[in-house]
Amino acid sequence: ALEHDDDPHRFVGRLTALLAPGGRLVVEVPNVDCVWTSWFGAKCENWYLPFHRVHFSRQSLRNLLEVQGLTIEVEENICAATMGHSIANWCGRPYSAIFFLVGVMLRPVQWLAEKLTGRPSALRIIAVQPE
């Protein structure tokens, strides 16, 4: 939900206040620096305007968590199901079962492209509250 909040610094601050020393915060967000943003532009599902209020790259997500005093423990590339939505947006059509099936069929291509470029559709970071 981080990308849906107008003030991600405050949001993460509220979450870290709930963590015990040594506790872990797992954050997963769409990556606006994914390989597909250059293909689909503003139609890429990762933008998801107006619902995604804030957009993250790997560096901006790292910075947000480190500013809150968290230590990055693990970073993971996630291949999120975005192709069907992005293609529907590109075609100017509402997302439907047809676009879902297109996304499923393109999933291996999506995974391979994201793996080869190192620019995944989503980012997951596990960060630790200092003891």
The predicted pLDDT at position 25 comes to 96
Tell which wins on pLDDT, 52 or 113.
Answer: 113
3-state secondary structure of 100: helix
pTM for the full predicted model: 0.89
Task: Please write the tens of the pLDDT for every residue from 49-91.
Answer: 888 889 999 999 999 999 999 999 999 999 999 999 999 999 9
- CA-CA distance, 73 to 103, in Å (whole number)? 32
The predicted pLDDT at position 52 comes to 83
Residue type, 88: A
Residue 27 pLDDT more than 90?
A: yes
Q: Are 44 and 36 in contact (CB under 8 A)?
A: yes
Sort strands 71-78 and 122-128 into parallel, antiparallel or unpaired.
antiparallel
The predicted pLDDT at position 131 comes to 87
| Interior/surface letters 69-86, b for 16+ CB within 10 angstroms, e for the rest | ebeeeeeebebbebbbbb
